Chain A
Amino acid sequence: SQTIHQWPATLVQPVGSPLSLECTVEGTSNPNLYWYRQAAGRGLQLLFYSVGIGQISSEVPQNLSASRPQDRQFILSSKKLLLSDSGFYLCAWSVGLAGANEQFFGPGTRLTVL
């Protein structure tokens, strides 16, 4: 069966510090991968998605970036965190290109920027 892992589970970082969040998927090949941010009362905001190694699409211009160094690994990074980067970050995966295919979500990372 497929599983998705995210770490760390929680993170407290000072403003201006770097960030690296990691997501890995097991039990499937060539998944589509996604990063979302969830802020209170604002639903889920799609940040990045990837359909293959090295292929990243950005949905929202900001100080975050994403990389996909391996087929089932997706990394979210920042060189300098802002207070507004605080939130709950969710990684998700899906297979295929059909719109009917659901996404499966990881457990999330709670990021607090102080």
Chain B
Amino acid sequence: AQSVTQLGSHVSVSEGALVLLRCNYSSSVPPYLFWYVQYPNQGLQLLLKYTSAATLVKGINGFEAEFKKSETSFHLTKPSAHMSDAAEYFCAVSGPRGYSTLTFGKGTMLLVSP
């Protein structure tokens, strides 16, 4: 069965600091992995996705994530945080059903201080 674990419900960084949001997955098949961002009272927006083409995936807004099969991880990083990055971030893995269903983690709230 597919599952996603996001370590840390809240992560705090200073503006300009490295952002690291952790995601570990469990999947019975080779996974497709996604990171979404959600601003308050809005829907989710896709940041990036891993579809087995390359292990280092670059997304929007300067974010990137690296797929590590040996560690079953797909951590999200950004070299320098901006105030506008403050939001909730969700990691997701495809499945368990067909038809492009997704299993989401519980989310990590990123707080950015000046």
Contact = CB atoms under 8 A, between A and B. Distances in A.
B44 A41 contact: no
Contacts of B95: 99
User: Which size bracket describes the interface of B in this complex?
Assistant: 20 to 34
A108 B43 contact: yes
Contacts of B100: 32, 94, 96-99, 101, 103
B5 to A, nearest CB: 11
Quick one: which of B9, B104, B106 has the most chain A CB within 10 A? Answer: B104
Contacts of A94: 100
Interface residues of A, number: 28
Contacts of A32: 99-100
B101 A46 contact: yes
Nearest to A36: B104
Contacts of B34: 102
A102 B46 contact: yes
30 contacts: A32-B100, A34-B101, A41-B9, A42-B106, A43-B90, A43-B106, A43-B107, A44-B44, A44-B90, A46-B102, A49-B97, A49-B101, A57-B97, A88-B41, A90-B43, A90-B44, A92-B43, A94-B100, A97-B100, A99-B95, A99-B98, A101-B100, A102-B34, A102-B46, A105-B36, A105-B43, A105-B44, A105-B45, A108-B41, A108-B42
Interface of A: 32, 34, 41-44, 46, 49, 51, 57, 88, 90, 92, 94, 96-108, 110
Given A32-B99, A102-B49, A107-B43, 16 more contacts: A41-B9, A44-B104, A46-B102, A46-B103, A49-B99, A92-B44, A97-B98, A99-B95, A100-B51, A101-B100, A103-B102, A104-B46, A105-B36, A105-B43, A106-B43, A108-B43
Interface of B: 9, 32, 34, 36, 41-46, 49, 51, 90, 94-95, 97-107
